[in-house]
Structure 1
Amino acid sequence: MQKLEVFGANKLKGQIKISGSKNASLPILAATLLSRKKIYLKNLPRVKDIETMASLLQSLGSKIKFNQNNLVIDNIKQRKSFAPYSLVKTMRAGILVLGPLLAKFGKAKVSLPGGCAIGTRPVDIHLDALSKLGVKYKIVQGYVHAIAAKGLIGNKIRFSKISVGATENLIIAASFAKGTTVLSNCAIEPEIKDLVNFLKNMGCNIKWISKRSVKIEGVSEVKEITYQVMFDRIEAGTYLVAAAVTAGNLKIKHIIPKIIQTEINTLKKIGAKINVKKDEVHIIGNKKIKNTNIKTAPYPGFPTDLQAQIMVLLCKANKQSVIKEDIFENRFMHVAELNRMGAKISTNGNTAKVTGNINFAAAELMATDLRASVSLILAALTTKGKSVINRIYHLDRGYENIEKKLKKVGAKIRRVN
């Protein structure tokens, strides 16, 4: 099993080009199932979750060709509607094939999803909403058996709570439903806007009618298109924090800064110097880091996917900070590992109190999920000595060439078997 060795105490300097967004690519890949033509996708990150989703689509009958970060999907002979556990178990995004399969075939059998063990992530919001489009379903031995005997029929649906996955699944499904669907209390993450933009390019009729409401007029076919996926805002945020925590000097390129305005504002508040240009952010970390309180929230709030990373930075702040995790109930698993490195973090339910003025010590570490694993790298970058991070398969699910990108800006890091 592979590990990462990190030798710390280096300031990061240089520039990093941000990859395409994993969290935008996955629903867009699922949405390609609506098509019976060729779809050309550009700027996909070559990470494990993308490879798993591609394998899932191939198991459903899609023909896929990769050319570095570009991909061609041919669904001319795509006929299957069964998504097996073996492919869905490692990522929650597998459930996103349910909507397009129901829209296309009127039936689907899809395994309940897996992914990082950071919370329950129930699919009941997906299923309740799909039932309002005319779907009848039952769960048998870990599989959703769903059927829409008369096809999907448009309806007015209000989500019981804001859910990124359910919003994506229903937007895709409703694009082929008969009549009009209005979805309210939607998630509005940039990745969802990217999905909508992709669907509209294919010929779907989708319009935002208020901040969290979208109106969809169903269509019966879509056209062949070429589409470029947006940048990965969580990767961008991770490297911004890396610059801040090492008192480094980085240019983060190939991004749209306004999309990560909340993260930029937070880092400025903590003490980083940030200069924003059209498609890049230049950040200079400050040795004096100010404490702050953070609460994760749906977009445009502070992202839960950056909570572990910002916690590392706040361990170096001048005073105590408080982080409240309001998205997932089990997302403090990195705390124990950071405390082993010398952090002083206490948790109570969904609240973490982070004592400042900490110097991390090198240690052997265990990654527990995708974002926790990268937080351990950030902490290790500040230490004297060698840290070893185990179970980095979590990391490979969502970060493209992370050790190569960090090496280019001065980090001492290597992958070993």
Structure 2
Amino acid sequence: MEKLVIKGGNPLKGEVNIQGAKNSVLPILAASLLCEGQCIIHNVPIITDVDMMLEILRSLGVIWQRQGHTLIVDSSKANKYQIDDKLMRSMRSSIFLLGALLGRFNNALVSRPGGCDIGERTTDLHEKGLKSLGAQFGEKGYMVKAPNGLKGAEVYLDYPSVGATENIMLAACKAKGVTVIKNAAREPEIVDLQMFLNKMGAKVSGAGTAEIRIIGVDKLNGCEHRIIPDRIVAGTVLLATAMTKGDVLLKDVIPEHLELIIIKLREMGADIAIGENEIRIKGTYPLKPVDIRTAPYPGFPTDMQPIMMVGLAIAEGTSIVTENVFDARFKHVGEFRRMGADIKISNKTAVIKGVKRLIGTYVEATDLRAGAALVIGGLAGENTTIIEKVEHIDRGYEKIEELFGRLGGNIIRIKE
């Protein structure tokens, strides 16, 4: 059992390179299953979600090797379309393999995915889209077949789901004919997936807009690709710097992907300068209150909601945060209250009255982003914070104690 021990009070200072995006690399690794050759993927973060995806790919016959932050993935000998239930439940992103398996084998035998408990995360839209392409679902749910092969179709998503958009993209790449996804999700990670697929020889256009068009091809080949920077990790560092009154230069970022986060941080009083692939932030005190409403991209990202909330907990005034994406993404509020935060919840709205300081104590990471928020709360707070269930944080942050330790944060990992 591992814990993070944080002694707060040090302003973060220095430079940091931002890791590759978790939410980009996972669907891209699933997409590599469609390829009958070797893919070289750079800027892959060393996180447990990537480890689990690689374990699943190995179980399907994929051969891979890691060289630091580069993965060499060879799917030419992949010969299985069944994924063990325990592996499926190890992560939410295992669901992407459903579209990839159908695209490769016209068959898939999987169970429902796992992942963070942040509310209802149905797969209805995934199923609707794949059925439109000719997939047939068995009575047990995910015994899926396309006996006549997948065929292009027009798919309208009732909600711009990132996962459903990506799953349909993967399945449609080798389907016969043309697939059009309407009301598609527009996240930067979907654009990155399109770039990877097209490098393999797919014909995908429109990613980043509400309509994506895929012309099916017979074969996909190997390619080389670099994963985009993780905008949520970048946002975490920005908030931590603002809260600790620090001065940090973030390198290897794409500022356009952080537009709304930067706007809100400036409203809170942070001094932010934007360069080419870099952002410099200087924290000021006291922070000012702002209101946040989460929404699909280009709206404010739900993954940043817990991280922003812990910053608003010490803002001078009252802030309102409305969560419009997940119905149970306020579980972290109880842990923030243990640190002295004044937060009241009513349905999907949180009212945050800023306090002068957060006080370190024992807390527990309830999910990935909530855990990261507790880390930066501890860095900015007084006394010592001890965070349990850090395995949630390790799913998306590469050695978070080293990330903030390099910037002067007093944070260590201990085993018990």
TM-score (norm 1): 0.98
> Which residue is equivalent to 1:16?
16
Count of residue pairs brought into register by the alignment: 415
Residue 97 of structure 2 corresponds to 97
Structure 1 spans left out of the alignment, 5+ residues? none
Shift of 1:86: 1.2
Identity in percent: 40
Where do residues 34-53 of structure 1 align in structure 2 (5 Å cutoff)? 34-53=34-53
Contact 1:342–1:358 (8 Å) recurs in 2: no
Report what 1:157 is aligned to: 155
Moved over 2 A (4+): none
Deviations 1:223-261 (A, max 9, x none): 221111111010000000000111110111111111111
In the other structure, the counterpart of 2:329 is 331
> What's the counterpart of residue 54 of structure 2?
54
CA distance in 2, matches of 1:299, 1:138: 33
Shift of 1:139: 4.6
How far apart, in 2, do the equivalents of 1:49 and 1:242 lie? 23
Asked whether the equivalents of residues 30 and 97 of structure 1 are also in contact (C-alpha less than 8 Å), the reply is yes
Q: CA deviation at 1:210?
A: 8.5
Q: Distance in 2 between matches of 1:317 and 1:170?
A: 42
TM superposition shift of 1:27: 0.2
How far is the alpha carbon of 1:382 from its aligned partner? 1.8
Structure 2 unpaired stretches of 5+: none
SS state at 1:98 partner: helix
1:259 counterpart letter in structure 2: H
* Structure-to-structure mapping, 1:228-243, within 5 angstroms: 228-243=226-241
Q: CA deviation at 1:317?
A: 1.2
Distance 1:210 1:243 in 2: 30
Kindly provide the amino acid, as one letter, of the partner of residue 277 in structure 1. G
**Match for residue 279 of structure 2?**
281
Distance in 1 between residues matched to 2:149 and 2:226, nearest whole Å: 31
Query: Secondary structure of 1:83's match?
Result: coil
CA distance in 1, matches of 2:75, 2:339: 50
Hey, what does 1:315 align to over in structure 2? Answer: 313
Contact 1:343 1:358 in 2 (8 A): no
| Structure-1 separation of matches of 2:135 and 2:220 | 22
Q: Is the 8 A contact 1:138 1:144 kept in 2?
A: yes
8 Å CA contact 1:316, 1:358 repeated in 2: yes
Distance in 2 (CA, whole Å) between partners of 1:324 and 1:336 is 17
Match for residue 224 of structure 1? 222
Q: Scaled by the length of structure 2, what TM-score is found?
A: 0.98
The alignment's C-alpha RMSD in Å is 1.0
Counterpart of 2:197? 199
| SS of aligned partner of 2:320 | strand
Q: What is the CA distance between 1:333 and its match in structure 2?
A: 0.8
Asked if the contact 2:126–2:168 (Cα under 8 Å) also holds between the matched residues in 1, the reply is yes
Look up the match of 1:65: 65
Shift of 1:384: 2.2
- 8 Å CA contact retained: 2:190, 2:208: no
Look up the equivalent residue of 2:87 and give its one-letter code.
L
The offset of 1:175, in angstroms, is 0.7
Contact 2:190 2:207 in 1 (8 A): no
Matched letter for residue 33 of structure 2: L
